[in-house]
């Protein structure tokens, strides 16, 4: 697949944010006075997949092991810079006010970080004229043309893996232990900014590996999901039964409602 692209500076991707951040970016975001959420999803992991299952290997790299009742699970936690409306760093002329320090994900957009997701212009915020054939090449035969962007994507994947134990430690310190079922949505925690900043600094500066996998709880809006998980020994319940302060359920589609 070939795709041409040039940013039109429309600023759409800098509005209504849930920007995935690395731990160091999240610390900077919080220090700047902005909000960071923890988006949590859980994957049932009854047994280790075959070594040649590359998609499972990728999920494994960016998650930590947990138990949900008697069911082994993997937990993915995303630190997301969250802001309704325009990004606090966006200037009136749609330029980034922290251009040299902007997060990796802003440098990479609209390319995809996940190697198993193909870049689809229709799924991006960019207007149609940003994809006009004849603009600078973005993809040729499905491969990124710009080696610099490919390097940033690798840097983002490496940080994702390196940050896993820090996120695990932060969740344990903050009592965060509920997650949506992978592919159904996310549980979004919005802890107090100062508390989250302190927990991220502590976990970054003084890492500690827990002796036992932590216990996590699956939440879902679908009764069938809950029943299946409970039948295989997991801790699971409908999201309404788990409502907690600073906890929000973000479903992917109406089917999950
Ligand atoms: S940090 Fe800059 S590039 Fe990223 S969303 Fe904000 S304004 Fe846009
Ligand atoms: S949405 Fe696309 S075209 Fe608009 S500013 Fe963002 S990257 Fe550029």
246: pLDDT strictly greater than 70: no
The secondary element (H helix, E strand) that includes residue 76 is strand 71-86
- pLDDT given for residue 256 in this prediction: 43
How far, in Å, is the centroid of ligand 1 from the Cα of 25? 12
pLDDT-derived band at 179, boundaries 50, 70, 90: very high
Cβ-contact 187, 180 below 8 angstroms: yes
Helix, strand or coil, per DSSP, at residue 140: strand
Site to substitute for ligand 2 among 6, 8, 17, most atoms within 8 A of C-beta: 8
Q: Which residue has the higher pLDDT, 131 or 51?
A: 131
Give the ligand at the shortest distance from the Cα of 6: 2
Compute the distance between CA of residue 59 and CA of residue 74 in angstroms, rounded to an integer.
Answer: 8
**pLDDT tens column, 43-60:** 999 999 998 999 999 999
- The alpha carbon of residue 186 and the mean position of all alpha carbons in its chain are separated, in whole angstroms, by 9
User: In terms of Cα–Cα distance, which of 217, 190, 194 is closest to 18?
Assistant: 190
Q: Judge if the beta carbon of residue 13 lies within 6 A of ligand 2.
A: yes
Backbone torsions φ then ψ of 151, nearest 5 degrees: -65, -40
Distance CA 173, CA 97 (A): 33
Contact predicate 191/151, CB 8 Å:
no
* Span 190-211, average pLDDT: 94
Helical H segments across the chain, by residue range: 23-31, 54-61, 104-108, 147-162, 164-174, 193-205, 223-231
User: What's the pLDDT band for 211 if we cut at 50, 70, 90?
Assistant: confident
Question: What distance lies between CA 127 and its chain's CA centroid?
Answer: 24
In 3D, which of 115, 127, 153 has the Cα closest to residue 20?
153
Distance 94 CA to ligand 1 centre (A): 9
Tens of pLDDT, residues 8-29:
999 999 999 999 999 999 999 9
């Amino acid at each position: 697949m070939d795709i041409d692209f040039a940013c039109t500076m429309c600023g759409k991707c800098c509005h209504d944010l849930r920007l995935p951040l690395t731990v160091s970016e999240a610390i900077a975001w919080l220090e700047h006075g902005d909000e960071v959420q923890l988006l949590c999803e859980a994957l049932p992991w009854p047994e280790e997949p075959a070594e040649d299952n590359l998609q499972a290997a990728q999920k494994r790299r960016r998650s930590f092991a947990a138990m949900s009742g008697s069911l082994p699970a993997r937990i993915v936690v995303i630190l997301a810079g969250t802001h309704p409306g325009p990004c606090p760093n966006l200037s009136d002329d749609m330029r980034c006010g922290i251009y040299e320090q902007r997060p990796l994900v802003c440098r990479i957009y609209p390319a995809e970080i996940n190697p198993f997701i193909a870049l689809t212009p229709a799924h991006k915020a960019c207007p149609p004229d940003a994809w006009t054939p004849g603009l600078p090449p973005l993809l040729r035969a499905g491969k990124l043309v710009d080696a610099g962007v490919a390097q940033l994507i690798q840097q983002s994947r490496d940080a994702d893996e390196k940050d896993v134990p820090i996120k695990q430690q932060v969740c344990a310190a903050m009592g965060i232990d509920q997650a949506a079922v992978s592919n159904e949505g996310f549980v979004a925690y919005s802890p107090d900014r100062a508390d989250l900043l302190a927990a991220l600094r502590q976990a970054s500066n003084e890492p500690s590996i827990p002796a036992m996998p932590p216990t996590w709880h699956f939440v879902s809006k679908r009764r069938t999901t809950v029943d299946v998980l409970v039948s295989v020994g997991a801790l699971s319940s409908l999201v309404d039964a788990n409502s907690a302060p600073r906890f929000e359920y973000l479903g992917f589609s109406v089917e999950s409602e």
